[in-house]
Amino acid sequence: MKNLSVLLLIFAMACKSPDASKPELMNEAVPVWAEGRETEMNLTLGFQGVFQAEKNSGFTLRLTGSTLYRVFLNGEFLGYGPARTAHGFFRVDEYDIGDVSKAGENVLAIEVAGYNVNTFYTLDQPSFLQAELESDGKIVLATGSDPGFKAFELKERLQKVERYSFQRPFTEYYRLGEGFDDWKTSADVPLTPVKLAEQPGGQLIPRNLLMPGFETLQPDEIYAKGTVDFQKPERYYKDRSLVNISEQFKGYPESEIEVLPSQRMQEMTTQNMTQVSEKYLENPVALSENEFATFDFGTNLSGFIGSRISCSEPSTIIFHFDEILTDGDVNSKKRMPDVNNQVVYELEPGTYNLETFESYTFKYLKAVVTKGSCTIHDVYIREYAYPDNPRATFASSNPKLNAIYDAARQTFRQNAVDIFMDCPSRERAGWLCDSYFMAIMEKGFTGKSDVAHNFYENYALADSFQFLPDGMLPMCYPADHNDGVFIPNWAMWFIVQVEDYASRGGDPELVAKLEPRIAALLDYFEAFENKSGLLEKLDSWIFVEWSRANDFVQDVNYPTNMLYSAALEKAGKLYQNETWSNKAGKVKQAILEQSFNGDFFVDNVVRGEDKELIVTENTTEVCQYYAFFFNIASPKTHPDLWKKLTTEFGPNRDDTKTYPNVFRANAFIGNYLRMDILSKYGLQSQLLNEIQDYFYSMAEITGTLWENMSAHASCNHGFASYLGHVLYRDVLGISNIDYLEKEVTIRFADIGLDECSGSVPVDNGVIELKWKHADNQVHYSLNVPEDFTVKVENLTPFELVKNESHR
């Protein structure tokens, strides 16, 4: 484990802002690709550049491209990118490689995958690479120039394969011979060049972000060993990413696909398995045909699967992985059949250093030899995650809370490499709403809003959003929504998010640039307002949360209108627009008059045959949380409902007996709204207990936080990292940081803990708080940056004793 001073130094070096003052992000390089093949699906090219270096020479590599690249220097991994952004724009990554270049000849190798399919993860844009290497003000290598890069097709990665999922592009399937990657280390390897042609590329913009962390981590243990058998099922399951290929949903049709590992995985069953739980010591693991070994990495991680494998005969090895075990085994096809959690290597005799091009998410990695025999000499994951900030800390006398904090931190890192993502596994998509919670957590974990800036900037940069109605925003972006599907609720959350971003010191210029987008969006919604001013019969996918609430969304959905009132209110506040502010009040009043039935807020009303609105009895738990979260209700205005919610609802409600007709909320987003509501109205002690009941099992099982309260979907969802903020605010007691007024509010609550300490980074330093409860006193120390003022609130019956602090 690296000591804290080393971690602080590494983070300080990483935090150096990119030099955005340069007039040009590229000096000579132009975008290039194989002539006439720039729209070909799943074409992978290798680019090799050779340069000479003297000792202590300085070199800067700048590159971007479409769709994704990874870069090596003399065979050593350098990086992966680029950071995603809007259609027609490309963020430029910059690497200082002077310290890692060697005296004499150096080989720069860049692999680029041009996917050219619509996804929720990457954009469907023509392929290209644009790269240049500079030394002492001189361009040493540049695409499209002389000296430049040689390019060739990397045919070892099969081109005509299945998609990984509906939301992501292609799976990885390789046919390799020994020496397949020698071109990364030697200029003498004979290559068959492809003819390059200049491409249109796009507008270059700075990355504006820290580069991700790429640390390699090995398994904790070999979890199990055993054998498998193969038998064809009566019927193969074929998900939509395989059978729905069309002009609208791009990919290779099943008839053209060369291999179908998704079907092979359905044939595979574990016959004999022994749980060995051997500590992983890098001892070779020899596997014969139909044998496997399962590796446990201890924590659910995201990154590139790496291994060193030798085989003395032609062999095939499958890496099958998942975030959680199913019936004690890795079986992602049973748990999540719509995701292809496998990478296949067909290997000729030889020794191979393998590493996947795409990032995957797993705690368990099952290596299965289906042909020949292999010896695994090493296995690892190269992390693809946001750099950890050692200044963000939390520790308490309750180990369950500590585990939840660690899980929140890990969940954030894996979902914030370049934009805020829902999950790093099946989608890697930049969803609205999820990103509201993550943007708050970015500030808490890093002291910055760099990812948030890029996330919102992407919405500002886009010329328009093809396939969507005028004014509507994509539900996730950057992404291509060729089917025209959008979530109107998520567009409303966008307004809530931008206002929150501004309140946390976000870039005012960017906020101003977003005003036309927000105005156009509110103009779109105006056409759906009924006589009461409420939105009625909204189009496309109306999403409240992952629960029965999504069944009650027409004709007038009250949770949606509660959100609409908040969006109008916040837009009015943000842009001093009284029309929007006044409309927000009218929407709120209409909801109060129509939705509350004396016991609960009902979810919806429908239009009858006589055109009159008919109130339903559809009632969900999350609808009540929307009402309190968006200030439609309060404990003062609805005391009986508040009492029910705080005494009869929560993680331990038996909904078969207690209010069975009020459908249970889920993690996303109801239970998180509940956390904020309990905090808002001073129930920190109850909140502490509920956090453990809701979320500790997740932290214990995977070390990350989940999409749902059960493990049937993603076990690593970005929004869930928000629990770190809850722990800072309600357990540690750093109740609020006003980044505009430079004021921190410390609130001590009687939560039954003996002690707690933690720190939150801010731009110019760190806020540190430590307290201990003893003898009817709370002893605390507090350190804040010099330009911050402090307000202390004591909600406990105990005396506060301040220890010596410094600034």
CB neighbour burial string for 535-570, b if at least 16 within 10 angstroms, e if fewer: bbebebebbbbbbbbbebbebbbbbbbbbbbbbbbb
- The segments of the chain whose pLDDT lies below 70 read 1-23, 805-807
Residue 21: what pLDDT?
36
Q: Which token pair is 732?
A: 């540690």
Per-residue three-class SS string for 508-539: HHHHHHCHHHHHHHHHHHHCCECCCCCECCCC
Burial class (CB in 10 A: 0-12, 13-18, 19+), 366: buried
Chosen CATH of 4-206 out of 3.30.470.20, 3.10.450.40, 2.60.120.260, 1.10.287.1260: 2.60.120.260
Residue 805: what pLDDT?
61
Query: Looking at domain 404-732, does it have CATH number 1.50.10.10?
Result: yes
- CB contact at 8 A, 543 and 487: yes
Residues 473, 669, 606, 566: what is their CA dihedral angle, to the nearest 10 degrees? -60
Residue 12: what pLDDT?
41
User: CA separation (Å) from 399 to 351, 395, 403, 405?
Assistant: 44, 8, 6, 10
779, containing H or E segment: strand 777-783
Residue 16: what pLDDT?
39
Burial class (CB in 10 A: 0-12, 13-18, 19+), 792: middle
Report pLDDT digits (tens) over 286-328.
999 999 999 999 999 999 999 999 999 999 999 999 999 999 9
Report which of 663, 680, 684 is spatially closest to residue 750, judged by C-alpha positions: 684
Per-residue three-class SS string for 37-93: CCCCCCEEEEEEEEEEECCCCCCEEEEEEECEEEEEECCEEEEEECCCCCCCEEEEE
Report pLDDT digits (tens) over 663-712.
999 999 999 999 999 999 999 999 999 999 999 999 999 999 999 999 98
Distance from C-alpha of 266 to C-alpha of 157, rounded to nearest angstrom:
22
Which fold would CATH assign to domain 216-383? Jelly Rolls (2.60.120)
Domain boundaries, the chain: 4-206, 216-383, 404-732
Report which of 65, 35, 84, 391 is spatially closest to residue 195, judged by C-alpha positions: 35
Q: Which token pair is 12?
A: 């300080």
> What is the DSSP track for 422-434?
S-TTTT---BTTH
- The DSSP bridge pattern shows strands 799-802 and 777-783 to be parallel
- CB contact at 8 A, 709 and 666: yes
Report which of 545, 529, 546 is spatially closest to residue 537, judged by C-alpha positions: 529
Q: What are the two backbone dihedrals, phi and then psi, of residue 774, each rounded to the nearest 5 degrees? A: -160, 140
* Domain 4-206 identical in fold to domain 216-383: yes
- CB contact at 8 A, 336 and 357: no
Report which of 415, 490, 428, 349 is spatially closest to residue 166, judged by C-alpha positions: 428
User: CA separation (Å) from 343 to 320, 355, 487?
Assistant: 7, 10, 33
Residue 615: what pLDDT?
92
Distance from C-alpha of 5 to C-alpha of 2, rounded to nearest angstrom:
8
Q: What angle do CA 578, 510, 587 make, to 5 degrees?
A: 30
Distance from C-alpha of 323 to C-alpha of 332, rounded to nearest angstrom:
8
